[in-house]
A and B are shown apart, each in its own frame.
Chain A
Amino acid sequence: MNFYEMMFIQNPDLGEEDQEKLLTRLKNTIGKNGGGIIRIDDMGIRGLAYKIQKKPRGHYFLTYLEGPGSMIPEIERFLRIDENILRFVIVKLDRHTSRQDLEPKAEEKTGSVPENQQEEVAE
């Protein structure tokens, strides 16, 4: 079993219902191929650095998956076929990753890019 990070951009004009359907179908695809979603973060609608399919904005999602490598081509196939997925990237996480690292933490503000890191360096 491997851990993967998957980010995708969904059509921002999609209604809530269609979005639910899409996510359910995605989950089913992953489930059917022996994998599971550990976590799914909705990063919200953001501006794109360049237009994709003439759209200036996209709805970003960041997900963490667990499963065999053989599920990846199937997921990619699904994402490519669906017209409402504008882009995606799947990255395999290194072997030292554990489930706990990926599970949602209570206080963590998920998905957003930290603007000011709170760690303070001594001196």
Chain B
Amino acid sequence: MQNRQSNPRQRTYYKRKACRFCEDKKLPIDYKSPHILKDFITERGKILPRRITGTCSGHQKKLTLEIKRARIMALIPFTVHD
């Protein structure tokens, strides 16, 4: 690792996260598997953005839809209150 402070112009690069659904084609994006959807929501129940999870555009769209379906069926919460 280089010392970031030594050269302010040099950006730190992170390893690009790969889309989990592209890596594992068998991993279902399905409202019936809340244990998988849980990895893509915050503790408060909000949907995590792609820039955090590394999900590709196509899978993120599908994921959003399935998370919303799972919320309707009370499989995952809409929000988590204190």
- Give the number of residues in B that approach A within 8 Å (Cβ atoms): 15
- Give the number of residues in A that approach B within 8 Å (Cβ atoms): 15
- Which residue of B has the minimal Cβ distance to A43? B32
Q: A9-B73, A49-B74, A50-B74 are contacts. A113–B35 as well, Cβ < 8 Å?
A: yes
A18-69 interface with B by 8 A CB criterion? 48-50, 52, 58, 60, 62
Residue among B32, B73, B75 with the highest chain A CB neighbour number at 10 A:
B73
Q: A7-B32, A89-B31 are contacts. A58–B74 as well, Cβ < 8 Å?
A: yes
Shortest Cβ distance from residue A110 to the other chain B in the assembled complex, whole angstroms: 12
- Which residues of chain B come closer than 8 Å to A1, judged between CB atoms? none
In the complex, per-residue mask of B47-71: 1 if CB is within 8 Å of any chain A CB, else 0 = 0000000000000000000000101
Shortest Cβ distance from residue A76 to the other chain B in the assembled complex, whole angstroms: 13
Shortest Cβ distance from residue B65 to the other chain A in the assembled complex, whole angstroms: 10
Q: A49-B77, A50-B77 are contacts. A87–B32 as well, Cβ < 8 Å?
A: no
Q: Tell me if A49 and B76 are in contact (CB < 8 A).
A: yes
- Which residues of chain A come closer than 8 Å to B72, judged between CB atoms? 87, 89
* Bound-state Cα–Cα, A74 to B69, Å: 21
Q: A89-B69, A119-B26 are contacts. A113–B34 as well, Cβ < 8 Å?
A: yes
**Contacts from A to B (Cβ < 8 Å):** 7, 9, 48-50, 52, 58, 60, 62, 87, 89, 91, 113, 115, 119
Q: A7-B31, A50-B77, A89-B31 are in contact. List 16 more A-B contacts (CB 8 A).
A: A9-B73, A48-B74, A49-B75, A49-B76, A49-B77, A49-B78, A50-B74, A52-B74, A58-B74, A62-B32, A87-B72, A87-B73, A87-B74, A113-B32, A113-B33, A115-B35
Listed from nearest, the 3 A-B pairs whose CB atoms lie closest are A48-B74, A49-B77, A49-B74
